[in-house]
Chain A
Amino acid sequence: MKARRLAVEIPARPAAPAPDLAPAIGLFHRFIQAGALPGLALDVADYRHVPGGPGVLLIAHEADYGVSDRGLRVLRKAGGEGLALGEMLGEALCMARAALRAIEKDGGFAMQFATADFSLELLDRLAFPNTAEGAAAAEAAALPALRGLFGAACEMARDENDPRAPLRFRVQGAPLEAAALPDAPALSTAAQAAPQPAPAAQTAQAQSPWDIEVEALQQMRAEGAPHLVVDVREPHEYEICNLDGELLPLGQLPDWSGDLPRDRTLVVHCRTGGRSARAVQALRAAGFERAFNLRGGILAWIDRVDASLRRY
């Protein structure tokens, strides 16, 4: 059996007072910028004004990630047409776990979650109506998959909710961290960690998960978007040609990175992108969440943006 849509909701750990949802807006924008969640992230929708509503949503092509007073809800939607219900559920849980990890890593949103059980909602009244038959069909399709993920102790129980509401189950004995799930589902669109250039200009190989293209840097310059160019080459290379960046050779980076601004976009480059990819890796590990690697380095810039600079 297949469902068009389903949602899993990981409950918030009971806390008084209810957590402030406002920081989730910034959190979700950061997730989009960094490509932190599975799926093609599109935008943030703020429904904090609706009582009992969906809270703050990160809308992606394949899923909506939402945080509300109730907890974290992942609604699996487009791109799941070919999946059996159990597979789709696995993807949704995978996305939920990725979101929980990303929230914890970010540290900017204080909500805590209880991950021992969750609720499952089937948003497809045609295939899974909120009736005894619908519930039996859903259980037959979902329970084996759940037990495969969480072990034989996992149980699902139908909620006695409004029959007009979607069919809903409480899933117990399902500690998310222990689930036999991959880190991210295999989706047809990938999370994008960086601005993408026009297809014609695209460099074939990614050099780091945080690449940006030279055209994106050109646009940031044109727009006056706040950013700092960091050049990790050696001084003699800088003299041949440069992008007017901060010169910070790779070998000295650990000594000096403390002076770099953490709240600004850092565009790191070298000659062809190899050294800067390593530099970005190190900067990210040190907490520079807005560090990006200029894919292809200054040579790509010379080839595609400004031929007047000297090649070497």
Chain B
Amino acid sequence: MSATRWKDALAGRIADDWAGEIDHFESQLELRRAGKLDEKAFAETRLRRGVYGQRYDNGRRHDGIAVRSLDFPERPTKGPDTVWDAPGMQRIKIPFGGLSPEQLETLADLAEEYSDEILHVTTRQDFQLHFVHIEDTPDLMRRLAAVGITTREACGNSVRNVTACPLAGVCSSEAFDVSPYAAALMHFLLGHPDVQDFGRKFKPAFSGCEDSACGLVQMHDAGFVARLRDGERGFKVVVGGGLGAVPHQAQVLSEFTPERELLPQVQAVARVFARLGEKKNRGRARIKFLVARLGIEEFRRLVAEERAALPPDPRHTAFLAELGRTAPGEGGADGATRGATNGAAADAPGFARWRASNVTPQRQPGRCAVAVHLPLGDLTAQQARALADIARRYAKAAPGDGLRSSVEQNVLLRFVAEAELPALHAALCAAGLGEPGAAGLADVTACPGTDTCKLGIAASRGLAAELRGRLAARLAQPANGAGANGEAAAEAERALSELRIKISGCFNSCGQHHIADIGFYGNSRKIEGRVAPHFQVILGGESRGNAAAYGMAMGSVPSRAAPLVVEALCNAWLQGRAPQERFPEWAQRQGKRALRAVIQPFMKAPPYAEAPDFYSDWGDAREFSIGDLGVGECAGEVVSLFGIEVMRAESQAFDAQLALDDGDAAAAEAQSYRAMLSAARALVRMEFIDIGEEPDEIVREFKARYFDTKRFFDRFAGGKFGQYLLDLHADATPTDDRQVAARRIEEAQLFIEAAHACEARSSAERQAQSAAAAP
């Protein structure tokens, strides 16, 4: 008789400590279901195992007519305001994106049996399954553990997935393969006592070289760039980077940390962060705030001090003994000389274009890395099995070396013999995975947004799908004309195909909009009393050089106009660019004023009567609404007054960007401060029409009316945005530092967003009161 529980069926195939952890989680789950464990304690436990909430898990949903309560069966909650039976998301962390075919097959099984048949690759090389029931999670974890995957510390205030350049080990510009170091760091830190007491999450990343984009170390809490010094391996270590609402560039902790010092140094960083990092205020708890507060010199001193005090630990260097000094997959190459198989030929339709955009030659002669383009990071269980077969057949290498998930939400096949590319392409096409354009224009990156995320404001995936469709169609058109003209057109199309678009559903940057050529994040604007989904346009980001520059907000456009904005920007660039000029370089040369002029015609949404579709989001038939409170109709004079005042704040925030462009950081800081004051004044004026222009008075009134009363507070971010103004007002002296100025501009932008949201909530409340009081 076969086993009736996965626990028994997999006995002996799961490492003891992992099995014990999952059993413990299951008993916690049972205790909570029986009401014998505190909901907050259980929420923390499940988050640490990657079991996340999803949109509408508070049991309420706006169905386009009204907010409805979802009458799930009566059960205890699984966290504050989180209904037990509401579907959730399971995050599965894949260190440095390294997967074996067997692991991929298990993910496929789980997607079918516990989710909706879809495997989703995230921007941090994780996999996610959506619409998962909480009671299925222990078995789901067991089945993963049986193939060597743990979900431990995939969420929560812990060390998240250790990411790395997906080309690590095969890239021709890397110093050496960082994958084994990423693996070692992940195993060392997993469950380590020194990383259990963080105030917030901690994201590490590895890169094999300084210049390429793949590692994105500059935007991580801790980043490690491979370096060789006199033949010795080591890392440049940076700390305190991060996107989030206000992006920070990481700062250099050490120019060269020898490989044997890598783990102890990270442990020392963890101890400093755990000891001194902010714990209460989530909005200020990432390590970037600690580094900014202490200054990098002091932070470095503390880390060195902590390092010196660390007790010796053999695990610090044990992994080095196991490191092979020849890269895996080298030697034993037999496919390089083998001819094309399956009758697939190099002149098959679409092959040349696919090869040009998706194939990268490896350092190993005759071998290639092949990007498999996954639309919006999604693939079906059936495609995953096909991909596992393809990896076994064409990407033969040591386990974890043949397949990698990437931050572009694609999967990479490595160690493919060049001669087998046509056959591989044919096999991918048969599985519906042979599309060209990986990491190019049509490969739009997006976070889940309003589809499943609780924080989402606008439909990032809906917009991404719309853009993909339009851009793929545009790229598929053959370059028209002939001769010199035809060549120019072909070159334009090639340039276009390299453009990157990234979209987030809200100001948190899971879609990494700051480092795109064209980035978007979701927000909302009210037009004549009705809310319409919008996207803030972000330009000037740079993903090269490990995310060397962050883009800036250029203005908010209605969601429905976003594809037109992309088209207008592309056309302006293609017409105005110097030969070979890349988009970020062109954007830089244009300056903000000229870029804004391109966007300007699209910024205003037509009234509802003329274009009702502007008031619903992409891929969503419902009329747009922002959450449970929703947004009220125009309450007459008072609201339009707010509209006028807040416009002033928006133009000041834009002037701040212009000042920064002109190299005047001090002026940019001053304008940002003024923008926040104007937005605060706009709110105060709704209640106190005679408020003056004095900063002290504005801040005092704002604080008393909106901050201390928590009316300005965001449901998720709390008082974070209001604090920006209070902190700055306490000392508004400009520092004249570019980095600080860039941050102030972001803060001003977010403060203005928060003012919009606050006004919307207030007017909804006023409406409700007046409706109730109506005779």
Partner of B4 from A45, A48, A126, A305 at Cβ < 8 Å: A126
Q: Is B620 an interface residue (CB 8 A)?
A: yes
Partner of A50 from B61, B379, B771, B775 at Cβ < 8 Å: B379
A224 with B65: CB separation less than 8 A = no
Q: List 14 A-B contacts (CB under 8 A).
A: A25-B619, A50-B432, A51-B433, A52-B380, A125-B113, A126-B2, A126-B4, A165-B382, A195-B67, A218-B771, A221-B768, A223-B764, A224-B530, A225-B65
Q: How far is the CA of A290 from the CA of B375 in the complex (A)?
A: 36
A32 with B118: CB separation less than 8 A = no
- Nearest Cβ distance between residue B127 and chain A, in whole angstroms? 15
Given contacts A61-B72, A223-B625, contact A46 B465 (CB under 8 A): yes
Q: Is B630 an interface residue (CB 8 A)?
A: yes
- Nearest Cβ distance between residue A236 and chain B, in whole angstroms? 19
Partner of A220 from B66, B133, B462 at Cβ < 8 Å: B66
Q: Give the residues in chain B near A44, CB-CB below 8 Å.
A: 620-621
- Nearest Cβ distance between residue B556 and chain A, in whole angstroms? 21
Given contacts A25-B621, A50-B378, A126-B6, contact A33 B108 (CB under 8 A): no
Question: Chain A: interface secondary structure?
Answer: loop
Chain A residue at smallest Cβ distance from B771: A221
A42 with B71: CB separation less than 8 A = no
Q: Give the residues in chain A near B131, CB-CB below 8 Å.
A: 45, 59, 64
Q: Is A54 an interface residue (CB 8 A)?
A: yes
Which of chain A's residues 34-75 have a Cβ closer than 8 Å to chain B? Answer: 40, 42-54, 57, 59, 61, 64
Q: Is B730 an interface residue (CB 8 A)?
A: no
A223 with B631: CB separation less than 8 A = yes
Q: Is A164 an interface residue (CB 8 A)?
A: yes
A126 with B630: CB separation less than 8 A = no
Q: Is B109 an interface residue (CB 8 A)?
A: yes
- Nearest Cβ distance between residue A289 and chain B, in whole angstroms? 11
Q: Is B85 an interface residue (CB 8 A)?
A: yes
Which of chain B's residues 99-131 have a Cβ closer than 8 Å to chain A? Answer: 105, 108-109, 112-113, 116-118, 130-131
B772 with A305: CB separation less than 8 A = yes
Interface band, chain B:
35 or more
B65 with A46: CB separation less than 8 A = no
Q: Give the residues in chain B near A51, CB-CB below 8 Å.
A: 375, 383, 432-433
B113 with A218: CB separation less than 8 A = no
A223 with B375: CB separation less than 8 A = no
A59 with B112: CB separation less than 8 A = no
Query: Which of B108, B376, B630 is packed against the most chain A CB atoms within 10 Å?
Result: B630
A54 with B380: CB separation less than 8 A = yes
Q: Give the residues in chain A near B661, CB-CB below 8 Å.
A: none
Q: Which 6 A-B pairs have the closest CB atoms?
A: A224-B633, A51-B432, A223-B630, A26-B621, A222-B768, A195-B66
Given contacts A52-B382, A308-B773, contact A42 B85 (CB under 8 A): no
Q: Give the residues in chain A near B631, CB-CB below 8 Å.
A: 223-224
Q: How far is the CA of A306 from the CA of B432 in the complex (A)?
A: 59
Q: How far is the CA of A52 from the CA of B431 in the complex (A)?
A: 9
Q: Is A208 an interface residue (CB 8 A)?
A: no
Interface band, chain A:
35 or more
- Nearest Cβ distance between residue B7 and chain A, in whole angstroms? 10
Chain A residue at smallest Cβ distance from B86: A42
B4 with A290: CB separation less than 8 A = no
- Nearest Cβ distance between residue A292 and chain B, in whole angstroms? 8
Given contacts A43-B55, A219-B67, A265-B65, contact A59 B380 (CB under 8 A): no
A46 with B375: CB separation less than 8 A = no
Q: Is A99 an interface residue (CB 8 A)?
A: no
B61 with A43: CB separation less than 8 A = yes
Q: How far is the CA of A4 from the CA of B622 in the complex (A)?
A: 33
Which of chain B's residues 758-775 have a Cβ closer than 8 Å to chain A? Answer: 764-765, 767-768, 771-775
Partner of A196 from B68, B117, B378, B765 at Cβ < 8 Å: B68
Q: Give the residues in chain B near A124, CB-CB below 8 Å.
A: 113
A59 with B87: CB separation less than 8 A = yes
Q: Give the residues in chain A near B71, CB-CB below 8 Å.
A: 40, 189-190, 192, 196
Given contacts A43-B55, A46-B465, contact A195 B65 (CB under 8 A): yes
B64 with A29: CB separation less than 8 A = yes
A78 with B133: CB separation less than 8 A = yes
Q: Give the residues in chain A near B771, CB-CB below 8 Å.
A: 218, 221-222, 305-306
Q: How far is the CA of A64 from the CA of B55 in the complex (A)?
A: 17
Q: Is A185 an interface residue (CB 8 A)?
A: no
- Nearest Cβ distance between residue A74 and chain B, in whole angstroms? 13
Chain A residue at smallest Cβ distance from B71: A189
B379 with A57: CB separation less than 8 A = no
Chain B residue at smallest Cβ distance from A50: B378
Q: Is A111 an interface residue (CB 8 A)?
A: no
Q: Give the residues in chain A near B306, CB-CB below 8 Å.
A: none
Which of chain A's residues 120-135 have a Cβ closer than 8 Å to chain B? Answer: 123-127, 129
Q: Give the residues in chain B near A129, CB-CB below 8 Å.
A: 2
Chain B residue at smallest Cβ distance from A243: B774
Q: Give the residues in chain A near B773, CB-CB below 8 Å.
A: 306, 308
A52 with B64: CB separation less than 8 A = no
Q: Is B56 an interface residue (CB 8 A)?
A: yes
Q: Is B572 an interface residue (CB 8 A)?
A: no
Q: Give the residues in chain B near A244, CB-CB below 8 Å.
A: 774
Q: How far is the CA of A103 from the CA of B113 in the complex (A)?
A: 27
B55 with A220: CB separation less than 8 A = no
- Nearest Cβ distance between residue A196 and chain B, in whole angstroms? 4
Partner of A45 from B70, B108, B116, B133 at Cβ < 8 Å: B116
A123 with B385: CB separation less than 8 A = no
A125 with B109: CB separation less than 8 A = yes
Chain A residue at smallest Cβ distance from B118: A47
Q: Is A226 an interface residue (CB 8 A)?
A: yes
Contact with A along B31-67 (1 / 0, CB 8 A): 0000000000000000000000001100001011111
Q: Is A162 an interface residue (CB 8 A)?
A: yes
Q: Is A151 an interface residue (CB 8 A)?
A: no
A221 with B116: CB separation less than 8 A = no
Q: Is B491 an interface residue (CB 8 A)?
A: no
